[in-house]
Structure 1
């Protein structure tokens, strides 16, 4: 029997025997909307066919009717959706329709293709609500005027009435203060702030709180972190020192975000600066930090991926549109084409990244401002067929433009002529100033080195004249100053400064773990130059397991130098670290990866001479390091950091002048040198002084010539300045070559027999080069090295260092300026709506438009469209002030409502369980940064220092706010990652999770334990200052609730807490804790 007949019989039997009528809206229209409308709807009609209504499907397109009511077998649409041939099957992209979906459509057709008579076709996509300029609507009059304290409440109350829900009452003062303080600053309120608010009965008490919080510097950090999420902030990452994504020193952009929020910089101005600061403010280094937004998009290995991400995240974060969906084909839902996607890409096509020098630093590895600039001004843009960059349409280049449906006026691009200092960056005054100061320091160092060399020569000559019997012997052996085998305590020798120390079995034991440092301070101050040896056995610890010697210590937490061995499982090592002016450093060149096994004895020896430190571990050289900071007299301590250990012996001795030291990086620096070598050292130092002294006039001469080339090209005076600069620079080169020749001569004297021939060859080459550079001084030429104040980031792996240092273009395309002006035009329908929706979402846990990055036709419509438009217009008319919008939101009754569902009207829960219409305030989980910062703040440990370089993840004991930690694909703070930290790829909304690891981190992490102990101490101290006693557990629990949660405990909570506290105390007693009450209270906290 033919297959077609069987198929028709099956369809007949299905229609005949089925008693179920297909629900068109749920089973058919839903499928057509999801899978077919993008090509057969109002936006486009492939083959002249529309499928957005049943009537349109019956009418058909160029090939006739798509469906025949009652005749599924004769319906062309059914044949196409059920086809096995991929060239015929519809839809052409993605997975085929599911069998049950096809069956439902087939049955619907057989049942007559019935649909509602009033079915409305899709409206013109260009008339989509989000694509129309918002107009301020009239604020509805609330039925309860006392509830609607500001316009926000009027709109929300109107929706309550329409949807039949009832607003919950206001939260109590405790709850509101904690809510608004955390919302605006990311920190909990202090006890005194709570007390002041509770006692402030003035009618403007709430406004006073909000104004204080918005004026706080912590506001900028809190809301800066929110926008860092939205704008995809990420520190650089790559492989080793190679930057592959984002940029080094991108933290300057983060600081700009924080400072802009604190200054209430208008949002439209922030957008203009992020997109086009280099064209609008080309010489303003503070403003140029804003273009870190574009620098963050950098990706070294694929320019297409780089620009794809730029287009995608500019459109999502600033416009709430998914331009990226049109990379391979016309957008399926919104009215812009694939070609228009590449027109937007063309706006960014010329831009690259460079790092501009900051005042006082010319080493771009150490600091600098990463920023955008237009580099390749004529770079073409082509449509990539099907999104494949290997298949561009080279015959039809595209021009920079915005999508036509959003064009307000003709998109006009005007090239920007840049001031000289913006492209000849060496002309910036601070560049020459910094180079001059560096040169002066080099001269000073060279002169000091000459004095030292002369002293060595005098010593060598003195030794050469001495008879063997006259040789000094007084300083050959070290003088022992301290020797302790820790068999018993010697109170006059050591002072305990933290930790748990005890003597047992001829050993000194340290048994405290955690990140509070354990220290044993020597009461005798060591000499400036000394040798110290510590024998010890590490026995445990939580993480770091570090033991070592601290010297030059100023107080307990001041400047210091510390050498330690770490048994950290993730990378045991020896390490030289130091703290200078409060800044801790753990230099890589001061570390050596090496095994430091637990329960095995180790010997740590350090030799200190001036700024030179030698570290010897288990009788083997480990590290030679020169401190880059000035030493100051201070105390010496034996330290343990998160380590238990047995201390076996310690010896402190003088360091004889005859003791050979290894200089960093690995060159012998023995003070006893032969006369011939000492003479060459003096000659070398003299040459270095001459070269350093010649560098200063060279800098000034080159700076003058460089400016003359820009301002007076070709003039006789310019020619003379160039000649002077050339000669001055060549003189420096010649003197440096002479110094190199002397160094090569010294190497010959120091070379071993096997290396002598190689050293002599190098000496000959060095002398030849010195001769050539001397002769070149007077040779004709007009080429000199321009001063450089910026360094271009490599576009790819092939770009040379030389090309990265070339002068930059003297003009910019102006494309990004045109984009920024278009985007911040008050008539633009999207940026203000998108921004206020983000503000609302971070205050209420969900945006008025839940799809915060998609305001297009595929996105979720707003729950309160009139409120959204009112907020958008208010935002623009307030001067784009974010602080103004925050004030409106947090002072609304909508924001003040309780989040509890207790005593809620039954219809609230049944008709709006998701709280879409805001009959209560959504509960919002504290995100990662708030969790950590709150712990530190409550413990009185939070360092409120604003801005600055990112903190390495390894410095997890830092007390700075969490947003300052390095945050990248390669590195992130582990504690933060447990609590839903921001993704570096995109984070338009924070994910929220509840997982066991979070509870474990709050219970067992060193940070949580330490802060709980300090919070407990603060509560007990407050008890002692009040009328209660510290031993009163009920009062302690009440104080803990108020301090940590800003809430009074209920009687039920109080009873449960008393029971829990008793259990914690009993557990502490059972483990032999000497202060069980405090341990129990800390565990309770």
Structure 2
């Protein structure tokens, strides 16, 4: 008899004994459980093979589970143990072993009892599995020694690069000529080429002292307000920021540009990167409320499109949380967190538990608008306080004269004499009513909405179900603004009119009431200059007295008509309030699409990512592999969660945060990151070409010892890179370099690259003298004002109102601007850490024949003629200086003068705009 047969018989005998012992006393692992695991499971889930990443021959592996991300067993909780779901075939998608080999019920009962009794496994009760990985990006940053290289170099960046080049018998190319260097530095740092005057000044200074002239140039460009515009664009690409939501309706995001201006300001002010990150995650706690626009920068499907099906609403919420995960993961952490939404990450040490613990951090974030929390010294904050004082003064005038109504755009607010009551009743005078939210406030906690259901208030009225029972009255006090409203309609001939009753949990003192018909649209999607249709409903308010009688208290008809007739002096105060309200909406901390806050819910792991399959509760936390325990619970407030996470992710010990940003900055300076996949530092990403240099830069970024600058200074790091010899090299090809490193990844030359769409457009406007250099403010519009489910249409993409930097063009998802989209301008639907570079006929056609190109070429030609005093040859020279930052060579001059004589000087400009020299960094 073979050993295999003997072993099989022994196991079979043990299983028979197991069934006999099934109901006898406590479970004994060796007797009752080990034979089941050995016979039924170990072949596919043992030491040698672990299908689906699940290993069942060790207790710690059972506790962790497999690729599903769910624990195979949870001691004491059979109902939470995924192994029991699988072997019992309760999960319709995963049945193991399959039907023909299904484990007998009596063995499943034993496994269930074993888990119920604590899953005791002798010798392994203290064994634990540490979350660990050998992948380089998750290892601590250790500052390496700067290598010694032959020759003198004062910049450590050059030392690392030259050391690596020597391994391939390569070295740097010659220095770039001063004109090329000026143009390169200007575009990399500000996105704008130098003007002719700037070129002349630099060349004169460079001839006297090249090093001093270049250092002064770099410092001037870093100090330019256009620096922030250039580098803000890079950040906005990564987080997919746009001013529409990208859904089927692709609705507008009102005042989203407030966040864009914050990013510009942060780069210009050289806000330390760790602070920059903290503000974008928890700016509401740090006096930088507009910065949280970062969290809602990605696309989303609005509630109106989702519909009313509860499962669809839950799925849409899960999808919005995933958009937040993509934004945070790609931009700050450099990992593909979204891959762990349905199962453990296939490549990186990110589990399903990690994913949902991270979503727990952001459970209070919802896509929408709010007034940003600003520091006391913020100009908008100060202006807002002044206007609020004006409003308070006018209210003080009105209060002795009775109630009044204020129009806040999104809602109307009725003020009246304070009264203490257990219930109020609103009796509408119209047959049609549509109200998304009814709010009631008292004089004490002025921001507390006493009507909310969560405060114990109940709502009733007529008709309770709204129109045909589809628009219930409970929506009035659910705390949600938007299309989910109470819509009531009664017959015109009926004596009945719609009415609402609020019963408070205990008697309260009230003095204000708000009504709105679709506040979400006003705050989130209505155009900046468009006022929504907000009916001025007439209604009477009754209060319930202590003896149970209804007492009339105030009516809108009374405050808006009768009192105004009785007290003509009210008119001035009412007008003053309305003027202050309008100014507050424009000049104060305006409602902006930077996210709104909701009450955070308990976060649960979702089986295969489905909200219909919630499993175990998880606490808000960072990645376990990076010691992400934040000490939070499900009772922690949303602000607490995000602030704790912001502090965790910006710890100097976090190996990803500094590495990712250093690499991102390197990418935008040299055209390619040390890690080419700038938003994926995981196993599926590219390995670093210079790992020691990357770590040295990350360490220097956090704790500058060579530059002596500010910790986490983005400008300081950029200055170090552009001051290097590597950046100042010629971009000309060399045979030996092409042979060994065709992509110039090792930087034996400065890699030539085509400039972005924005640089092309802004450079043309600069050359014609048309560019408006104003920083910040509302985006300029090139589109129509569309109906909800219509499409955006480009109506004017070249008129004078568009002559600002392209950063300020309304950034609409899924819309071709009919000009520079051809140059790979992103549609903001996907993370775009690195823009693609394509070459198509449409590019040349746009720069030759578009209305913008023709109009601007004519303006450049007119400017050149004017500057040249009518001399055609000098005018041609001026066109070259304006567009290419250099005079023409003699043969170029001859050809262009002839073309200008035969046709028009504007044709010369259009030809130069289509040259590689104009479109590529030198």
**TM-score range, shorter-chain basis?**
0.5 to 0.7
User: Among residues 847, 871, 874, which one is paired with 1:1030 in the alignment?
Assistant: 871
Distance 1:688 1:1083, change over 3 A: farther
8 Å Cα contact 1:953/1:972 also seen in 2: no
Contact 2:332 2:660 in 1 (8 A): yes
SS of residue paired to 1:814: helix
CA contact (8 A) 1:939 1:1011 kept: yes
Q: What is the rounded CA distance, in whole Å, between the counterparts of 1:811 and 1:434 in structure 2?
A: 34
Q: In 2, distance between residues paired with 1:791 and 1:914?
A: 47
Whether the 8 Å contact between 1:272 and 1:821 is mirrored in structure 2 is yes
Report if the CA contact (8 A) 2:292-2:594 is conserved: no
Q: How does 1:512-591 map to 2 (within 5 A)?
A: none
Does residue 266 in structure 1 map to residue 272 in structure 2?
yes
Contact kept, 8 Å, 1:1061 with 1:1084, in 2: the verdict is: no
CA distance in 1, matches of 2:393, 2:247: 34
Q: Please name the residue that 1:215 is paired with.
A: 223
Pairing 1:69-468 to 2, within 5 Å after superposition = 126-145=133-152, 148-200=153-205, 201-202=208-209, 203-237=211-245, 247-278=253-284, 280-281=285-286, 284=287, 287-297=288-298, 298-300=300-302, 301=306, 302-357=316-371, 369=372, 429=385, 432-433=388-389
Query: Among 864, 868, 875, which residue is 2:701 paired with?
Result: 875
Contact kept? 1:440, 1:696, Cα under 8 Å: no
Q: 1:128, 1:440 → 2: CA distance? A: 66
| Paired position in structure 2 for 1:1055 | 891
**Change beyond 3 A, Cα 1:323–1:996:** same
Deviations 1:959-1016 (A, max 9, x none): 1111111112244533221211123122111111111111111111121122222222
Cα distance in 2, alignment partners of residues 915 and 907 from structure 1 = 11
CA–CA separation in structure 2 for the residues paired with 1:795 and 1:696 = 24
Contact 1:247 1:296 in 2 (8 A): no
State which of 756, 768, 775 in structure 2 corresponds to 1:939: 768
Q: Which residue of 1 aligns with 2:809?
A: 965
Residues 322-357 of structure 1, C-alpha deviation per residue, up to 9 Å, x if partnerless?
Answer: 111122222121122222222222222232245334
Query: Relative to 1, partners in 2 of residues 1:169 and 1:434: Cα closer, same or farther, differing over 3 Å?
Result: farther
Aligned to 2:89: none
Distance 1:309 1:220 in 2: 26
Residues 247-280 of structure 1, C-alpha deviations (whole Å, 9 max, x = no match): 42111110100011111001111111111122x2
The equivalent of 1:975 in structure 2 is 819
Asked if residue 907 in structure 1 is aligned to residue 736 in structure 2, the reply is yes
Preserved CA contact (<8 Å) 1:1062 1:1080 = no
Q: Which residue of 2 aligns with 1:1044?
A: 883
Q: CA separation in 1, counterparts of 2:242 and 2:594?
A: 19
**Secondary structure at 1:233's aligned position in 2?**
coil
CA contact (8 A) 1:348 1:815 kept: yes
How many pairs does the alignment contain? 585
Determine helix, strand or coil for the equivalent of 2:366: strand
Helix, strand or coil at the partner of 1:974: coil
Q: Which runs of 5+ in 2 are unaligned?
A: 1-47, 59-93, 97-130, 307-315, 420-438, 451-505, 516-536, 545-549, 556-580, 600-634, 704-709, 784-795, 914-922
Q: Distance in 1 between matches of 2:192 and 2:398?
A: 47
What is the CA–CA distance in structure 2 between the aligned matches of 1:794 and 1:947, rounded to whole Å? 17
1:710 deviation in Å? Answer: 6.6
Indicate the RMSD between aligned Cα atoms, in angstroms: 4.9
Distance 1:710 1:314 in 2: 35
SS in 2 for 1:776: strand
Query: 1:188 touches 1:938 (CA, 8 Å); kept in 2?
Result: no
The alpha carbon displacement at 1:893 in A equals 0.5
User: How far apart are the structure 2 equivalents of 1:126 and 1:898?
Assistant: 41
Runs of 4+ in 1 over 4 A off after TM superposition: 39-49, 428-443, 687-693, 699-707, 710-714, 722-730, 768-775, 787-796, 1076-1085
Rounded Cα–Cα distance in structure 2 between residues aligned with 1:180 and 1:835: 20
Q: Which residue of 2 aligns with 1:120?
A: none
Alpha-carbon spacing, 1:1064–1:341, altered in 2? closer, same or farther (3 Å) = same
Question: 3-state SS of the aligned residue for 2:655?
Answer: coil
CA distance 1:43–1:988, change in 2 (3 Å): farther
Name the CA distance, whole Å, in 2 between partners of 1:711 and 1:977: 45
Give TM-score, length-normalised by structure 2.
0.56
SS of the residue aligned with 1:237? coil
The DSSP-based 3-state class of the residue aligned with 1:953 is coil
CA distance in 2, matches of 1:929, 1:332: 38
1:776 aligns with 2:555: no
Q: Secondary structure at the match of 2:872?
A: coil
Given that residues 229 and 988 in structure 1 are in contact (C-alpha distance below 8 angstroms), is that contact kept between their aligned partners in structure 2? yes
| Partner Cα distance (1:437, 1:974) in 2 | 51
Distance 1:699 1:430 in 2: 24
Match of 2:854 in 1: 1009
* Structural mapping, 1:826-905, within 5 Å: 826-877=652-703, 878-901=710-733, 904=734
Instruction: Check conservation: 1:701, 1:724, Cα contact below 8 A.
Output: no
Bigger radius of gyration, 1 or 2? Answer: 1
Task: Report the CA distance shift for 1:205/1:1077 in structure 2 as closer, same or farther (over 3 A).
Answer: closer
Structure 1 residues 354 and 1082: alpha-carbon distance in aligned structure 2, compared to 1, 3 A threshold:
closer
Q: What secondary structure is seen at the aligned counterpart in 1 of 2:444?
A: helix
Structure 1 residue 816 displacement after superposition:
1.4
Change (3 A) 1:854 1:1062: same
Q: Distance in 2 between matches of 1:827 and 1:243?
A: 41
Change (3 A) 1:129 1:238: closer
CA distance, structure 1, for counterparts of residue 397 and residue 826 of structure 2: 44
- Structure 2: distance between partners of 1:221 and 1:138: 35
Stretches of structure 1 lacking an aligned partner (at least 5 in a row): 1-38, 50-85, 89-123, 358-368, 373-417, 420-424, 444-686, 715-721, 733-764, 780-786, 800-808, 1069-1075
Whether the aligned pair in 2 keeps the contact of 1:1064 and 1:1084 (CA below 8 Å) is no
> How does 1:727-876 map onto structure 2 within 5 Å?
776-777=552-553, 811-812=637-638, 814-876=640-702
* Displacement after TM superposition at 1:907 (Å): 2.5
Q: CA deviation at 1:171?
A: 0.6
Query: What SS does the corresponding residue of 2:270 show, helix, strand or coil?
Result: coil
Q: 1:1065: how far off?
A: 3.7
Name the structure 1 match of 2:624. none
1:149–1:432 CA distance, 2 compared to 1 (3 A): same
Contact kept? 1:1065, 1:1081, Cα under 8 Å: no
Distance 1:712 1:248 in 2: 25
Identify if the C-alpha distance between structure 1 residues 916 and 1040 changes in structure 2 by more than 3 Å, giving closer, same or farther.
same
Residues 402 and 417 in structure 2, CA contact (< 8 A), matched pair in contact too: no
Deviations 1:77-114 (A, max 9, x none): xxxxxxxxx999xxxxxxxxxxxxxxxxxxxxxxxxxx
Residues 972 and 775 of structure 1: CA distance in aligned 2, closer, same or farther (over 3 Å): farther
Q: Distance in 1 between matches of 2:739 and 2:820?
A: 37
Q: Cα distance, 1:832 vs. partner?
A: 0.6
Alignment of 1:633-644 (within 5 A): none
In the superposition, relative to structure 1, how do residues 883 and 326 fare at CA in structure 2: closer, same or farther (>3 Å)? same
Q: Relative to structure 1, is the Cα distance of residues 434 and 966 closer, same or farther in structure 2, using a 3 angstrom cutoff?
A: farther
Deviation digits for residues 341-395 of structure 1 (CA, Å, limit 9, x no counterpart): 22222222232245334xxxxxxxxxxx5x99xxxxxxxxxxxxxxxxxxxxxxx
Deviations 1:744-788 (A, max 9, x none): xxxxxxxxxxxxxxxxxxxxx98x969999961289xxxxxxx99
